[in-house]
Amino acid sequence: MKILITGGTGLIGRKLCAALLTKGYELTVLSRSPDTVTTKCGASVQAMATLDEWTPDIVFDAVINLAGEPIVDARWTDERKQRLWQSRVSLTEKLVQHISNANRKPSVLLSGSATGFYGDGSDNVLDESLPAGSDFGAQLCSAWENAAQAAADAGVRVCLLRTGLVLDATGGLLGRMLPAFKLGLAAQLGNGQQWMSWIHIDDYIAIVLLLLENTQAVGVYNMTAPEPVTNQQFTNTLAHALHRPALFVAPAFLLKLMLGERAELLLGGQRALPTNVQVLGYDFHYATLEQALTAALNH
């Protein structure tokens, strides 16, 4: 099977490439830095600098769309919001256009989204049947999903990946938190009651492979472990795993002052459950946060 991957040089993408190569798949990674692809993704991985290189005669059996500018890294100015939109929605629209133009279309598109689709879900349990929220993050995810779903009109099986917080000690949220936590500077965010839906990166990769290979899989999937926790629980569990105290609180007003609109990503949350993943019969390797953090920290 020949697979095109966008976002293949990121944290999830690199791990996914390794897993796909082990299974014997042929990979092409779309990257703005094509010279780095073989180093980051594997010596046999082909690089594509722009989607315009995908001419109708080139065959991909599957497309995995993980691209997107980091959403928390910079203040949400109008310009930044536009970049976030372009890197997700506009890119996906262009990707689907190339899928539609292909002489032989891919059989499946797995396309990224996030649990931010639901907005701040408060204490509500969120499954895949619920509608989008109203904040910017939710609007972004909703448009992103709609762009990907258009591939179904070309007869392509579409799976939408509503991703939670992916736990890997080498990067992502956990990688950023570790230095402060190791120094004993663990801090609960606001009142700490906002829900965090998380998933160990090994479970994430395994579910992606399941969705790729199970031809009956279609629609929306919450890519989260079955036991979400509050921010307070997450903070205390990680501090305990590192044998450090969790004594501090980052007040909500201070986070709003420092981060502006982005603070809603930290002070709001989603209690999302992987209902559709479990319907497929997937058995999580790391169902509890303690298991996931122990595995991530000892990897």
How many CA atoms within 13 Å lie on the side-chain side of 228? 28
13 closest CA partner among 36, 136, 117:
36
Question: Which CATH code for domain 2-165+198-224+273-282?
Answer: 3.40.50.720
pLDDT tens, residue by residue, 259-298: 999 999 999 999 999 999 999 999 999 999 999 999 999 9
| C-alpha to C-alpha distance for 195 and 192, rounded to whole angstroms | 8
pLDDT tens, residue by residue, 233-260: 999 999 999 999 999 999 999 999 999 9
Residue 73 in this model has a pLDDT that exceeds 90: no
Average pLDDT, the chain: 96
Tokens of residue 91, six digits: 């890119």
63 closest CA partner among 114, 118, 101, 11:
101
Angle between helices 78-85 and 136-149 (to 10 degrees): 30
pLDDT at 299: 77
pLDDT tens, residue by residue, 156-172: 999 999 999 999 999 99
DSSP, collapsed to helix, strand or coil, labels residue 262 as: helix
pLDDT at 72: 85
pLDDT at 158: 98
Beta-strand relationship, 271-272 and 26-30: unpaired
